Amino acid sequence: MRAGEEKIYIDPVTREPLRLVDEVRKGDEIISGALVNSAGHRHEIRDGVPDLVYPYELPAVDAEALQKYEERADAYDRYLPLTFSTYGEDEEAVRNAMIDKLDLKPNSIVLETGAGTGRDSEIIARRLGANGKLYIQDLSPSFLAKNLERMHGVDARVEPALANGYYLPFADNTFDAYYHFGGINAFGDIKRAYAEMARVVKPGGKVVVGDESMPPWLRNTEFGRVLMNSNPEFVYPLELDKLPVEARKTRLEWIIGGVFWVIDFVVGEGEPKADFDFPIPGVRGGTHRTRYFGQLEGVTPEAKRMAQEARAKTGKSMHQWLDEVVREAAKRDLGQKD
């Protein structure tokens, strides 16, 4: 961790600023120490890597995933190419195509979570110049250590941290782009993870995220059953309803044999905007807003039939006719005059 980087991190629990204490430095590198907040939360820095993982005691699903990845760390890079060769895919081409979706510039500031051993991190770092910065995070210390070995010699500044993907230790609107590929299916709170992605990326920035999942139209094929039997992680569904409301220009693509998904979207601000107040032509009339908020109690079928006949006779829309009738009746009963 380089000196000065303590200013970018926040406490993942309270989202308060952190300050550096008890630091041991080697040049401009902080080798050890801690990041603390006013509430006394303390996050240790070991071998230059801050530990910002929260919850401090991981939920069972996250703890199990962490143990699995720790056990696989040494063999991971040896066997991962089989994923691509199984489907006749070129790994470098696939990874570059995913990273193309980030729309990076040489000076972009990028966050990658679930960074693993760095097979994508290395490509992202190459796309960035000396003024670019890549923050790499993972829950697994062993995976992150291998990632850092791979990062030696890249021009971009690389800042590592241990962190949970759905409790990100950064302030709102910190990054130009966010990337995560693989392992999100195992997150204990996927909806919160998506919300965190949108929170830390600047409006207009890109998010690219993906993982494995057998698409619905292949689940009952022999192809799908064979793969799901061999690798239960293909059984995880793609939960589009978990995406954040800030997602704009959202695109979904099935890649690597059609059994991995990748979603990219532009981060917007809040819910989408639309004009709900223009008059809608036609018999019904009204606006989107009056149709939604202007509901009245139901009437009898006979009253509804009479209203439709009266509306047709006047040539007005049902909205205009009803609005006038209700206003006139209300004024009469309230004793109001025009």
Close Cβ partners of 71 (under 8 Å, ≥ 6 residues apart): none
pLDDT digits (tens, 9 = 90+) for 235-280: 999 999 999 999 999 999 999 999 999 999 999 999 999 999 999 9
User: Based on the domain organization, do 307 and 175 belong to the same domain?
Assistant: no
User: Based on the domain organization, do 91 and 237 belong to the same domain?
Assistant: yes
User: Based on the domain organization, do 221 and 294 belong to the same domain?
Assistant: no
What pLDDT is recorded for position 296?
78
User: Based on the domain organization, do 12 and 148 belong to the same domain?
Assistant: no
Amino acid at 249: K
The verdict on residue 281 lying in a domain is no
In whole angstroms, how far apart are CA 150 and each of 122, 132, 145? 7, 17, 9
Q: Name the domain count of the chain.
A: 3
Q: What is the DSSP letter of 280?
A: P
pLDDT digits (tens, 9 = 90+) for 19-54: 999 999 999 999 999 999 998 899 999 999 999 999
User: Based on the domain organization, do 90 and 141 belong to the same domain?
Assistant: yes
User: Based on the domain organization, do 95 and 226 belong to the same domain?
Assistant: yes
Q: Supply the CATH number for residue 199's domain.
A: 3.40.50.150
User: Based on the domain organization, do 174 and 132 belong to the same domain?
Assistant: yes
Pairing between strand 201-212 and 175-181? Answer: parallel
The verdict on residue 62 lying in a domain is no
User: Based on the domain organization, do 109 and 159 belong to the same domain?
Assistant: yes
Q: What per-residue string of b and e applies to 186-216 under the rule 16 or more CB within 10 Å gives b?
A: bbbbbebbbbbbbbbbeeebbbbbbbbbbee
User: Based on the domain organization, do 297 and 261 belong to the same domain?
Assistant: no
Burial of 93 (0-12, 13-18, 19+ CB in 10 A): exposed
Confidence at 203, pLDDT banded by 50, 70, 90: very high
What pLDDT is recorded for position 294?
87
pTM (two decimals): 0.91
The verdict on residue 59 lying in a domain is no
User: Based on the domain organization, do 127 and 190 belong to the same domain?
Assistant: yes
Domain that holds residue 166: 68-267
